[in-house]
């Protein structure tokens, strides 16, 4: 596929000559006569290669290089100058240029360098493709679980993450909303830039405005310098708005405008800035109820809730607890240089039975405490918080729904299987032998209980 090259030069004669030459060599050409026009072309057309003159009015080639490399770090950039300055070439390379040519142009040299940059584009595309392939296999490695509810969420993320659609993640505190946001970003077309995060709940209204949109010097008391806001920092990337349900109606209006128009003004400035930002938001509030009581705007909700993702609490995916137990045990063994081999049967019973109101975050903290306090090779009840171990085991077989005998038997059987799997490092064949169940029967029971 022929590469698209943006050529920038304020000399229209040179611009035309270079364009015609490279077009004859099979390249698609975009043109700009100044830096401002070039930035617009970069944003709208996304060329493969940037070829720019250095000496231009307003935004010169060096400033264009800096801005272009910041926003599009994988795009090869070559500068052209009439001044054979070694120091200028070195500075350009430091700022991200791949190459440098000097006027008057030798077209054989120009073509050779453009071909090299074209090959670099192909290599970067191939690397990006390999990263995508790896991401499809491992991008959820920090989200532990095999429950049917979680698997459905993973499948949805693979579909929606590569788009620019807004996503609203909903779930109780501690369910892993930020991990889901990071997974979305890692699977997106913006993954080569860092995701930017802001917790909306920790800022007062006036400070949140400056945090999101930035400010100019003197905009308010204490504003001693110009500051970039999170939207500007997240240009061409993902902005994660955590605790979005906690922002005030006044801020909701301002945020709605940015989501609708992708533009804003810094606090204290009348200059409008345009950005290209993908929004992922999260909340533990019921926003539909907030709309009814007038504390959250319905139009903002619909802007954010294009793709809703509802994370289940840990008590609704107890089958994942043994996997999380294994993960946290490995993690804290490594962190604290311990050699704890496992969890006692009675402690595991309580871990599975407990309601975990703080969800995965509470389980993680309980394990950190347990590993620190353990002086032996096995975690037991005394190592965990009392409230977890005082939980009645009978809650593990409490029924959902009708409360029939079959429900109780199914629930108890499922917990026994989960505990046995955890004790045998999730080895299904060994677990079937321990439980004295034929392999095919055991696999059928795993399928029936939704255990993967």
Task: Give per-residue pLDDT as tens, 20-44.
Answer: 999 999 999 999 999 999 999 998 8
H helices then E strands: how many in the chain?
A: 19, 16
pLDDT for res 261: 92
Q: What is the pLDDT of residue 402?
A: 45
pLDDT higher than threshold 60 for residue 154 = yes
Residue 1 has pLDDT above 80, yes or no: no
pLDDT band at 237 (very low <50, low <70, confident <90, very high): very high
**Radius of gyration over every alpha carbon of the chain, rounded to an integer in angstroms:** 28
Q: Is residue 242 scored above 90 in pLDDT?
A: yes
Residue 3 reports pLDDT greater than 70 = yes
pLDDT of residue 134: 45
- In what order do the strands lie in the sheet containing 277-283? 196-199, 237-242, 277-283, 167-170, 307-310
132-146 tens-digit pLDDT: 554 444 335 468 887
Q: What is the mean pLDDT of the chain?
A: 86
DSSP letter at 315 equals: G
- What mean pLDDT do residues 292-320 have? 94
Choice between 229 and 57, residue whose per-residue pLDDT is larger:
229
Mean pLDDT of 221-240: 90
Predicted confidence band of residue 451 (pLDDT cuts 50, 70, 90): confident
Q: Domains for the chain: give ranges and CATH numbers.
A: 4-129 (3.40.50.2300), 139-312 (3.40.50.300), 315-448 (1.10.8.60)
Q: What pLDDT digit, counting tens, does each position of 192-204 carry? A: 899 999 999 999 8
Six-digit token string for 322? 């043994």
Q: Which of 127-136, 240-249, 317-326 has the lowest mean pLDDT?
A: 127-136
Which pLDDT score is estimated for 397? Answer: 44
pLDDT at 435: 81
Given this model, what pLDDT does residue 394 score? 44
- What distance in Å separates the CA atoms of residue 187 and residue 176, rounded to the nearest whole number? 17
The pTM (predicted TM-score) of the whole model is 0.62
- Residues whose CB is less than 8 angstroms from the CB of residue 55 and which lie 6 or more positions away in sequence, other chains included: 10, 61, 81, 82, 83
Q: Give the burial string for 213-250 (b: 16+ CB within 10 Å, else e).
A: bbbbeebeeeeeeebebbbbbbbbbbbbbbbbbbbeee
User: 123 to each of 6, 70, 117, how far by Cα in Å?
Assistant: 19, 20, 10
CA distance between the termini of the chain: 43
pLDDT in tens, 65-93: 988 887 887 789 999 887 666 677 778 88
pLDDT at 128: 58
SS3 281: strand
Residue 400 has pLDDT above 70, yes or no: no
Does position 111 have pLDDT exceeding 70, yes or no?
yes
pLDDT higher for 1 or 78? 78
What's the CA gap between 340 and 371, in Å, rounded? 8
Q: Is pLDDT of 282 > 50?
A: yes
Residue 417 pLDDT > 90, yes or no? Answer: no
């Amino acid at each position: 596929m022929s590469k698209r090259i943006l050529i920038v030069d304020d000399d229209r004669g040179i611009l035309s000559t270079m364009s015609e030459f490279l077009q004859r060599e099979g390249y698609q050409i975009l043109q700009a006569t100044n830096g401002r026009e070039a930035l617009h072309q970069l944003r709208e057309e996304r060329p493969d290669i940037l070829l720019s003159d250095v000496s231009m009015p307003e935004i010169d080639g060096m400033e264009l290089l800096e801005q272009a490399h910041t926003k599009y770090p994988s795009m090869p950039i070559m500068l052209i100058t009439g001044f054979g300055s070694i120091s200028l070439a070195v500075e350009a390379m430091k700022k991200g240029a791949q190459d440098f040519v000097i006027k008057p142009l030798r077209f054989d040299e120009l073509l050779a360098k453009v071909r090299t940059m074209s090959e670099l584009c192909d290599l970067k595309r191939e690397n990006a493709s390999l990263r995508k392939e790896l991401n499809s296999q491992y991008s959820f490695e920090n989200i532990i679980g095999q429950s049917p509810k979680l698997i459905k969420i993973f499948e949805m993320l693979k579909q929606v993450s590569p788009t620019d659609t807004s996503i609203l993640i909903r779930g109780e505190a501690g369910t892993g909303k930020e991990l889901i946001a990071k997974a979305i970003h890692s699977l997106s077309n913006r993954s080569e830039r860092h995701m930017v995060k802001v917790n909306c709940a920790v800022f007062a209204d006036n400070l949140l405005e400056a945090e999101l949109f930035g400010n100019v010097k003197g905009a308010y008391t204490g504003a001693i310098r110009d500051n970039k806001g999170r939207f500007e920092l997240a240009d061409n990337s993902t902005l994660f708005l955590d605790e979005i349900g906690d922002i005030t109606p006044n801020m909701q209006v301002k945020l709605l405008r940015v989501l609708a128009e992708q533009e804003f003004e810094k606090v204290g400035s009348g200059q409008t800035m345009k950005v290209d930002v993908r929004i992922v938001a999260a909340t533990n509030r019921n926003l539909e109820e907030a709309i009814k009581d007038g504390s959250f705007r319905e139009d903002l909700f619909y802007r954010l809730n294009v793709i809703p993702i509802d994370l289940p609490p840990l008590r609704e995916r107890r089958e994942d607890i043994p996997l999380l137990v294994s993960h946290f045990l490995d993690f804290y063994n490594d962190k604290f240089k311990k050699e704890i081999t496992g969890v006692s049967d009675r402690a595991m019973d309580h871990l599975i039975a407990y309601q975990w109101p703080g969800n995965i975050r509470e389980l993680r903290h309980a394990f950190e405490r347990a590993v620190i306090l353990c002086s032996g090779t096995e975690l037991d009840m005394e190592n965990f918080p009392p409230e977890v171990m005082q939980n009645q085991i009978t809650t593990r077989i409490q029924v959902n729904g009708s409360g029939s005998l079959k429900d109780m038997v199914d629930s108890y059987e499922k917990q026994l299987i989960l505990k046995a799997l955890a004790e045998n490092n999730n080895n299904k064949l060994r677990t079937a032998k321990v439980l004295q169940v034929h392999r095919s029967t055991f696999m059928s029971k795993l399928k029936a209980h939704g255990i993967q």
